[in-house]
Amino acid sequence: MQTRRVVVTGMGVVSPLGCDLEIFWKRLCTGYSGIRRITSFDASKMATQIAAPVIEFDIDKFIPKKEQRRMDPFCHYAVAAAKLAMIDSGLVMANEDPHRMGCLVGSGIGGIAVFEDQHTVLTTRGPDRCSPFMIPMMIVNMASGMIAIDLGLKGPNFCVVSACASGAHSLGEGLRLIQRGECDAVVAGGTEAAITPIGIAGFSAMRAMSTRNDAPEKASRPFDANRDGFVMGDGSGIVVLEEYEHARKRGARIYCELAGYGATCDASHITAPAPGGEGAARAMGKAIADAGVTPESIDYVNAHGTSTPLNDKNETAAIKTALGAHSKKVMVSSTKSMTGHLLGAAGGIESVICGLALSRGVIPPTMNYETPDPDCDLDYVPNQAREVRIKTCLNNSLGFGGHNCALVLKAV
C-alpha cells in the first residue's frame, strides 16, 4: 500500500478563530483566543459558562436558505469547510471521475441541536409536530452525505465516530482508501456543533470542563499545573487528500504528505486514558512505523492536549514512551488552548494546523502555560509561536471509549 503516496492539496476551516484559512493561521500564531462566555443560550446555571463558538461564518455563502433549514449546524460547518477545501485544492470535478472521489467526515456527537429542539417540540406540541427531517438532520453520517451530494463525490462515503478521535480517524481511513487504489482523492476531516444547553450540561455533569468562567481566554491551559478541564469548541476542519502522482500531474499546490496512521484502543475505561498513556503510545508507534520514519525524525507533536488533569500527564508519558530520549528534544503544542476542544472535529482542524506548520515554517504555541507541572515536562512551545522549519510532525487525537489515533505528516 505504501507505493501510493498521499498528499494534502486543500484545506478548509470553520472555526472559533474564523473561517478564512489565512486569518485562522495568523490568529493561531499570535495567540488569539476563540474562547468566550456563552451567549447563544442562558448558561448562568451551568457550572461551565464558557465555550469557543464559530465566528465570522456567513452560511448564505455556502448553502441555500431552503437547505439550511434541513440541516443541523454540524452539517452547515462541514459543507462549508469542505467547499473551502475543494476550492483551495483547485480540483475541478468536471475533470475527475466522481466514482474515484471519496468522502469521510466524522463527528463525535452529530445533530445534538436538532435532537434537543425536536424533543422540546415532542413534549410541548406533540409527536405530529416533529419535523419529517428530524432523523436525517441529526444522524452523524449526514455530514459526509451532504458534502457528497453538494460536491458530486460518488466514491466510498462513510462516517467514523470515535468521539474526539473521529476527525483524525477519518483522515487515516481516507489515507488507506487512496493507498489501496480505491480513490484518487478523498475529502476528509471532522465537524461538531455541540455548544447547546444539553451538550454543555452533560459535559459539566462529568466535571470534564473548565469552570474558569471569569477569564475565558485563560481557561484552556494544556499541560499547566493549574489546568481544570477542557473548553468545548464548535467548527469543522476538512482536508483534500490526493494521490501524489494525481496531484503532481495537474500541477496542484501540495501542503504536505500524510505518511502514517496508527489506531489503537486502551480497552481500559470509558473516559479516562489508560495509565501512562499506554494506548496512545502504541498508536504513535504504529503511525511512525507506518510512515517509514524513526522516532528521532519527529520534529513536532500537535498534542491532543485537552487541558484536563488526566489527559495531559498521560499524553506526556505516552510521548515519552513513543519517542524515547528524543521526547526531550521534540516541540509539543496544544492548539486547543486557543480553539477550544472541537471534539469530533479536533483531528481535522489540527491536521490543517500540522499542514500549515509544515508548509509555513511556524510552530503555533501552547497558550496560558504559566505554572510548570512536574508530570508535564516537555517543550510545550509556551505562549509564543516559534519560527522553525520542520520536516515531520505527529498529530494525536484521543477519544472517550479508549480510542487513540495518531497521524504522521511530512514536508514534501
Give residue limits of the domains in the chain: 6-249, 261-410
164 is catalytic: yes
Q: What topology is assigned to 261-410 in CATH?
A: Peroxisomal Thiolase; Chain A, domain 1 (3.40.47)
pLDDT of 296 above 80: yes
Treating both helix axes as pointing N-terminal to C-terminal, what angle do 73-89 and 142-151 enclose, rounded to 10 degrees?
40
pLDDT of 82 above 70: yes
**pLDDT number for residue 196:** 98
Q: CA 20, 303, 49: angle at the middle one, nearest 5? A: 65
Q: What topology is assigned to 6-249 in CATH?
A: Peroxisomal Thiolase; Chain A, domain 1 (3.40.47)
341 is catalytic: yes
Distance (Å) of CA 387 to CA 240, 255, 353, 357, 377: 26, 17, 14, 9, 22
pLDDT of 134 above 50: yes
pLDDT of 126 above 90: yes
- Band of the pLDDT at 3, cuts 50, 70, 90? confident
- Band of the pLDDT at 301, cuts 50, 70, 90? very high
Q: What is the mean pLDDT of the chain?
A: 97
pLDDT of 2 above 70: no
Treating both helix axes as pointing N-terminal to C-terminal, what angle do 346-360 and 21-29 enclose, rounded to 10 degrees?
80
**Which candidate in 76, 169, 246, 304 is catalytic?**
304
C-alpha atoms less than 13 angstroms from C-alpha of 111 in its C-beta half-sphere = 22
**Which candidate in 341, 376, 403, 405 is catalytic?**
341
Contact, 239 vs 189, CB < 8 A? yes
The mean per-residue pLDDT over the stretch 315-329 comes to 98
Contact, 237 vs 80, CB < 8 A? no
SS3 readout for 298-329: CCEEECCCCCCHHHHHHHHHHHHHHHHHHHHC
**Which candidate in 19, 75, 164, 376 is catalytic?**
164
- Band of the pLDDT at 43, cuts 50, 70, 90? very high
Per the confidence metrics, is the pTM higher than 0.85?
yes
Can 6-249 and 261-410 be said to share one CATH topology?
Answer: yes
Helix, strand, or coil (residue 19): coil
10 Å Cβ neighbour count for 316? 23
Rg (CA), the chain: 20
Percent of the chain with pLDDT over 70: 100
- Band of the pLDDT at 1, cuts 50, 70, 90? very low
- Band of the pLDDT at 198, cuts 50, 70, 90? very high
- Band of the pLDDT at 352, cuts 50, 70, 90? very high
